[in-house]
Amino acid sequence: MTPDLAAVRPSSRTFTSLDLDTALDGVDTVLEQAIGGSVPGLTGPGPLCGVHQVLYRSPPLDEAIRIAGNFAVDLTLSSTLPGGNLVATLYRVKGSGTCVELLAGAADVGRVPLDLRHWATPGASRPFPVNRRTRVRARSLPLAAVVRPGDRLVLAIGGGSVELLPDPLKPRITIATPSSLSLPVAAGSLRMRAVRRRG
């Protein structure tokens, strides 16, 4: 699907990178209140959103699609430190794609785990440019999923993943325009339903 570039609006979203195994005082209590129950095994923020992740939500899909292969992110980002981790996780959700819905068990379709020291060339470490907009392109781990009509796709970008070792650097990362997500659609057409804006 070719995006309607005229409909793209500039944006800049900042979050503080945080690893999944970093304990946070009060996180368990906040999440339990949000979803009305306990969160077994939780030791870090998970898909908590807030100041540790940014979410991008699609409108509901018009028809079913099958995605298979690797999705790709092409991000314009800046960081306050020369390292850290960046993880982009793609979810499919039945509702509006809120943080509470992700925590309650939304399907994780696939993810891009990236040590930012390998931003230019996989396997070759070099410091990430500090406080300078930098283009980062990366492919996800292999995936296969069906997304049903009415479901949304949610891209959550944060700083931790079980695939990556915790990083001592906790930079503030800003995702800016232009940035994009490319999906490997194997069946169906990636068409979105029109969503009426309030106000």
Instruction: Flag whether 196 is in a domain.
Output: no
Residue range of the domain that includes 178:
10-187
Instruction: Flag whether 197 is in a domain.
Output: no
Instruction: Flag whether 121 is in a domain.
Output: yes
Amino acid at 75: L
Instruction: Write out the DSSP string of 108-120.
Output: EEEEEEEEGGGSS
Model confidence, pTM? 0.78
Q: What is the pLDDT along the chain (199 residues), one digit of tens a residue?
A: 445 556 656 778 787 777 654 444 444 444 444 444 444 444 444 445 666 778 888 999 999 999 999 999 999 999 999 988 888 989 999 988 887 788 777 888 889 988 899 898 888 899 999 999 999 999 999 999 999 999 999 998 887 766 777 777 788 899 998 999 999 999 999 888 876 655 4
Domain holding 116: CATH number?
A: 2.60.120.260
Instruction: Flag whether 193 is in a domain.
Output: no
pLDDT in tens, 180-192: 999 999 999 988 8
Instruction: Flag whether 45 is in a domain.
Output: yes
Instruction: Flag whether 4 is in a domain.
Output: no
Q: Tell me how far apart the alpha carbons of residues 160 and 133 are, in angstroms, rounded to a whole number.
A: 21
Instruction: Flag whether 195 is in a domain.
Output: no
In sequence order, the β-bridge partners of residue 174 are 14, 78
3 state DSSP class of 136: strand
Residue partners of 105: CB distance under 8 A and separation at least 6 = none
Structural domain count, the chain: 1
pLDDT in tens, 21-38: 444 444 444 444 444 444
Amino acid at 91: Y
Instruction: Flag whether 2 is in a domain.
Output: no
